[in-house]
């Protein structure tokens, strides 16, 4: 039922309420944004709120249980786990967001151009994406990081070189659908250039699924960093990182279970917040 029909049936005041409800973001978006916002705030304020230097060692107090002095205990080198957990958020969130944003920008641009222009350009971009997808994702990431060397720049390059394919295919499919509609033909008939038609008219109507996928990809990038660090190819010691902390606590999992469990739960909480955002955006687009 259109808004005009709604107005005839239920009156202008109620129609305004209906329009507000249709444009209002679902509640789960706000819940997820609150969770992610808290993580970002903790990462920004980590140097201020962390009770200890995350690199300071005290071997005499190594593997201490949680106490008033050390709320989450200490690791095998006597470093405060809570302080390292807070400072690790600065690295993990940075790589998580950039590891999804960089391929999103690259893949969205290539996919939009490929879908709108078609021809040899579309064929070339899609064949390159086929080659990238032919390799197992994590094996290719590990190979690239191993070749480039451990560190944040190498990890971001590896993520970008692989993850752009998903965005390119998503946006290309939407652009192909949109470019066949009448408003695109009308824009071209009015003399608008192809670039203006694409970026001013087609792209805004095609980017919805990309926005839905982006939060999930941030989770994937964060988990990818944790996995690389767990294997020793990610962030190198002594820099705190959630995956490295999980790996370091693994030998003590029976007695000092919190060393691996707490960083794991932190990763899960971050992923939960982003998943709620993605699901909420998808729900909003279906209205």
- Domain assignment present for residue 120? The answer is yes
Say how many domains are in the chain. Answer: 1
Count CB atoms within 10 A of the CB of residue 73: 21
Cα torsion 107, 110, 116, 120: sign: negative
Write the DSSP assignment of 175-236 as a string of letters: HHHHHTSHHHHHHHHTT--HHHHIIIIIGGGT-HHHHHHHHHHHHHHHHHHHHHHHTTSSSP
pLDDT score, position 287: 67
pLDDT score, position 2: 40
- Domain assignment present for residue 189? The answer is yes
What is the CATH classification number for the domain harbouring 212? 1.10.3720.10
Going residue by residue through the chain (287 aa), what tens digit of pLDDT does each one get? 444 434 434 344 444 443 344 557 788 999 999 999 999 999 999 999 999 999 999 988 899 999 999 999 999 999 999 999 999 999 999 999 999 999 999 999 999 999 999 889 999 999 999 999 998 888 889 899 888 888 899 999 999 999 999 999 999 999 999 988 888 888 888 888 888 888 888 998 889 889 889 999 999 999 899 888 888 888 888 899 999 999 999 999 888 999 999 999 999 999 999 999 998 888 887 76
pLDDT score, position 51: 94
Domain that holds residue 200: 22-285
Count CB atoms within 10 A of the CB of residue 265: 11
pLDDT score, position 23: 54
- Domain assignment present for residue 7? The answer is no
- Domain assignment present for residue 2? The answer is no
Cα torsion 241, 242, 247, 248: sign: positive
- Domain assignment present for residue 99? The answer is yes
**What is d(CA 223, CA 235) in angstroms, rounded to the nearest whole number?**
13
pLDDT score, position 4: 43
Reported pTM: 0.85
pLDDT score, position 10: 38
pLDDT score, position 3: 40
- Domain assignment present for residue 13? The answer is no
């Amino acid at each position: 039922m259109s808004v005009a029909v709604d107005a005839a049936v239920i009156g202008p005041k109620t129609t305004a309420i209906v329009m507000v409800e249709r444009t209002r973001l679902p509640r789960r978006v706000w819940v997820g944004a609150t969770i992610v916002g808290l993580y970002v705030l903790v990462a920004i304020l980590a140097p201020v709120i962390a009770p200890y230097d995350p690199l300071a060692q005290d071997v005499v107090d190594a593997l201490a249980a949680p106490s008033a002095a050390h709320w989450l205990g200490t690791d095998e080198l006597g470093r405060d786990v809570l302080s390292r957990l807070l400072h690790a958020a600065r690295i993990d969130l940075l790589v998580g967001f950039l590891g999804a944003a960089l391929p999103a920008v690259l893949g969205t641009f290539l996919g939009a151009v490929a879908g709108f222009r078609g021809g040899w350009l579309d064929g070339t971009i899609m064949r390159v994406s086929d080659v990238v997808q032919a390799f197992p994702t994590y094996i290719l990431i590990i190979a690239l990081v191993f070749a480039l060397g451990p560190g944040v720049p190498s990890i971001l390059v590896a993520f970008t070189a692989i993850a752009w394919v998903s965005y390119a295919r998503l946006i290309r499919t939407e652009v192909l659908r949109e470019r066949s509609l009448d408003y695109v033909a009308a824009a071209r008939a009015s003399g608008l250039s192809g670039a203006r038609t694409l970026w001013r008219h087609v792209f805004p109507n095609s980017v919805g699924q990309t926005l839905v996928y982006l939060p999930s990809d941030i989770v994937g990038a964060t988990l990818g960093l944790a996995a690389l660090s767990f294997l020793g190819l990610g962030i190198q010691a002594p820099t705190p990182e959630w995956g490295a902390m999980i790996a370091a606590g693994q030998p003590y999992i029976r007695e000092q279970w919190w060393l691996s469990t707490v960083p794991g739960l932190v990763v899960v909480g971050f992923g939960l917040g982003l998943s709620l955002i993605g699901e909420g955006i998808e729900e909003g687009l279906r209205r």
